[in-house]
């Protein structure tokens, strides 16, 4: 941890103590779980009295995050989109995170709304139920009625949540700096993960951004009668209050869906999956959290979407790469799949590419004989993520999130139709993909982009060449070489020479009895002991990290 973080520790000492206490409790439970001692295992319990050491490691991590509070719950939800970093078992466990955030008191809700609108609550709403219908990490939802008679859902941000999250973000930054120094945590890239989380959480705290997302979904599906996006009321929305249409229906997580008259579950599953595939492969802008609580089945079988805080975006190039990825899996093209995985991820140095190719070939062959109407896409993507994590390849965040959405989507659809196959719906998109890639409009856009880049290069290149030639003529042209890893090697070499020289010189003093005391050369003996210590230190540095002055 840097010295500059010490003021943060002092300023937030109580929260630091609370976080470290919870982490210590669950860390100790993880250590105790390795021993077969029933009495000791029953000693540590969570806040609900559940014995921790009897639970799986992934479950303990999830419970620790829930106990740490809203900021860490949001972090867990973000990490659930990165199975390539945390592993699929932990990512799937983190998808079960529940906020369990206490609701704000009615008078606090009223103060928040009136502060945002700078007017009494009654001047905007004819009715406002101060008892929330739902509460999440950042806000809570209230049912209300506008003075026009429209029934609406009002999402109100928790009072003081931004300040609490800023405190936790400071602490997370300090913990990430410590975690970065532990070799077993380095593959998770703690500092980069916390930096990305900081950007995400600040975006989600801005309800105005969520309102813009909602408006874009409304435009994208304006002509689709099977999809219902809640209407936004901009004049009743701010950065901390979001007012939208109330959707009367049953959530997919409710058993009431099975009893809705005139609604076929298999048809609803196909409509919902088709909705997401249109978002991904046509619009490049998709809802990032398709769990059953965010999908509402309306009378007549239409699908309504809720919660637009987490969204994903795909540019044209990444969308084409994702299409190629799915086509490579279905068409058994392991070479193309290997090439795409390496291009779409951050490849570690020294990657065993032949072994990766063999593993992906076996993966493709395993799923090659599955019929399209029974293809287990979620299982295939899960296994591919496990291979990617095994080789420590970090996928692009957009791609990791998309894979998580596809896995969740197939799982959600199977709640309604157990034999549902997402790949059966993806197959027709292959023809649309081909038509889009062959379309003149795409080639015109691509040619325009290439022309713009070439034009920019043509403008810059002559000036850069002129500058280089001027530096060569004036003798100011320098070539800087960076000898990475050379300094530690030189340090080891120099210390080795000094150690051997000291040992030889000390041996000569001992053999000649120079400056002897009772027949033993004092400086010679001290020199041999010092050379032995230096030799041991050199051997330890080489065996541990290969470097003497700093660890790898």
Count Cβ atoms below 10 Å from residue 398 Cβ, excluding itself. Answer: 17
Residue 47: per-residue pLDDT? 59
Q: State residue 261's pLDDT score.
A: 77
> Residue 465: exposed, middle, or buried by beta-carbon count in 10 A (0-12, 13-18, 19+)?
exposed
Q: What is the pLDDT of residue 523?
A: 80
pLDDT at 184: 63
State residue 421 phi and psi, 5-degree precision. -125, 115
- Sequence-distant (≥ 6) Cβ neighbours of residue 500 within 8 angstroms: 531
Distance CA 329, CA 381 (A): 9
DSSP state of 283: I
Tens digits of pLDDT across the chain (552 residues): 444 444 555 456 777 777 777 777 666 545 545 545 444 445 555 555 566 666 777 888 888 888 888 888 888 877 777 776 777 788 878 877 765 567 889 999 999 999 999 989 888 899 999 999 888 888 899 999 999 999 999 999 998 888 888 888 888 887 788 777 777 666 667 787 788 888 888 888 889 999 999 999 999 999 898 999 999 999 999 999 999 999 988 887 777 777 777 778 888 888 888 888 889 888 889 988 887 778 888 888 889 998 888 888 888 888 888 888 877 877 777 888 888 888 888 888 788 888 888 888 888 887 766 676 677 777 888 888 888 888 888 888 888 888 888 888 888 888 788 888 887 787 777 777 777 777 787 778 778 888 888 888 888 888 888 888 888 888 777 777 666 666 677 777 888 888 888 888 888 877 776 677 676 777 878 888 888 888 888 877 777 665 545 444
Q: Specify the pLDDT at position 240.
A: 92
* Structure tokens belonging to residue 113: 């709304």
Q: Which pLDDT does position 526 carry in this prediction?
A: 85
Q: What gap in Å lies between CA 492 and CA 47, rounded to an integer?
A: 52
CB 391 within 8 A of CB 348: yes
Q: Which two tokens stand for residue 360?
A: 């992906």
List 305's β-bridge partners, or say none: 295
Token pair of 409 as six digits: 């989507």
> Helix, strand, or coil here: 160?
coil
DSSP string, 70-114: HHHHHHHHHHTT-HHHH-HHHHHHHTT----PPPPPHHHHHHHHH
Q: Give the separation between CA 381 and CA 372, rounded to whole angstroms.
A: 15
Strand, helix or coil at 311? strand
Predicted confidence at residue 189, as pLDDT, reads 74
Q: Supply the pLDDT for residue 426.
A: 77
**What's 284-308 look like in SS3?**
CEEECCCCHHHEEECCCCCEEECCC
Rounded to whole angstroms, the Cα distance separating 412 from 493 reads: 61
Provide, for the chain, the percentages of residues in helix, strand and coil under a 3-state DSSP scheme, each rounded to the nearest 5.
60, 10, 30
């Amino acid at each position: 941890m840097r010295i500059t973080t010490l003021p943060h520790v002092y300023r937030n000492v109580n929260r630091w103590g609370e976080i470290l206490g919870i982490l210590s409790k669950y860390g100790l439970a993880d250590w105790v779980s390795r021993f077969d001692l029933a009495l000791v295992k029953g000693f540590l319990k969570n806040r609900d009295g559940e014995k921790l050491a009897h639970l799986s490691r992934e479950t303990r991590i999830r419970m620790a995050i829930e106990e740490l509070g809203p900021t860490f719950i949001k972090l867990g939800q973000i990490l659930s989109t990165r199975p390539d970093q945390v592993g699929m078992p932990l990512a799937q466990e983190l998808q079960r995170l529940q906020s369990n955030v206490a609701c704000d008191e009615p008078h606090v809700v009223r103060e928040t709304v009136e502060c945002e609108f700078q007017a009494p609550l009654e001047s905007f709403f004819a009715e406002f139920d101060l008892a929330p219908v739902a509460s999440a990490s950042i806000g809570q939802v209230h049912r209300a009625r506008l003075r026009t008679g429209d029934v609406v859902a009002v999402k109100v941000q928790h009072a003081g949540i931004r300040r609490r999250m800023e405190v936790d973000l400071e602490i997370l930054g300090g913990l990430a700096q410590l975690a970065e120094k532990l070799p077993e945590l380095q593959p998770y890239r703690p500092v980069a993960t916390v930096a990305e989380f900081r950007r995400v959480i600040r975006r989600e705290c801005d309800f105005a951004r969520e309102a813009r997302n909602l408006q874009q979904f409304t435009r994208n599906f304006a002509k689709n009668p099977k999809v219902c996006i809640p209407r936004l009321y901009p004049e009743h929305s701010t950065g901390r209050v979001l007012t939208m249409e109330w959707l009367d229906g049953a959530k997919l997580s409710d058993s009431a869906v099975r009893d809705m008259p005139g609604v076929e579950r298999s048809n609803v599953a196909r409509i919902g999956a088709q909705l997401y595939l249109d978002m991904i492969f046509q619009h490049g802008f998709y809802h990032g959290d398709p769990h059953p609580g965010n999908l509402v089945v309306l009378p007549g079988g239409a699908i309504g979407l809720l919660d637009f805080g987490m969204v994903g975006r795909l540019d044209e190039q990444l969308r084409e790469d994702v299409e190629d990825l799915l086509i490579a899996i279905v068409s058994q093209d392991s070479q193309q799949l290997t090439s795409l995985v390496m291009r779409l991820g951050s490849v570690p140095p020294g990657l065993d590419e032949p072994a990766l190719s063999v593993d992906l070939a076996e993966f493709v062959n395993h799923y090659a004989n599955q019929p399209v109407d029974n293809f287990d896409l979620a299982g295939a993507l899960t296994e591919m993520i496990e291979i990617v994590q095994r080789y420590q390849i970090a996928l692009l965040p957009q791609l990791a999130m998309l894979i998580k959405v596809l896995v969740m989507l197939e799982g959600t659809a199977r709640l309604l139709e157990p034999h549902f196959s997402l790949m059966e719906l993806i197959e027709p998109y292959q023809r649309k993909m081909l038509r889009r890639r062959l379309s003149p409009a795409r080639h015109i856009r691509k040619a325009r982009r290439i022309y713009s880049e070439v034009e920019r290069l043509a403008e810059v290149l002559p000036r850069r060449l002129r500058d280089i030639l001027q530096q060569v003529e004036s003798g100011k042209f320098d070539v800087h070489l960076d000898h990475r890893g050379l300094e530690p090697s030189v340090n080891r070499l120099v210390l080795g020479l000094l150690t051997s020289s000291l040992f030889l010189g000390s041996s000569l003093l001992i053999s000649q009895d120079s400056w002897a005391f009772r027949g033993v050369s004092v400086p010679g003996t001290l020199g041999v002991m010092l050379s032995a210590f230096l030799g041991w230190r050199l051997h330890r540095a080489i065996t541990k990290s290969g470097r003497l002055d700093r660890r790898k």
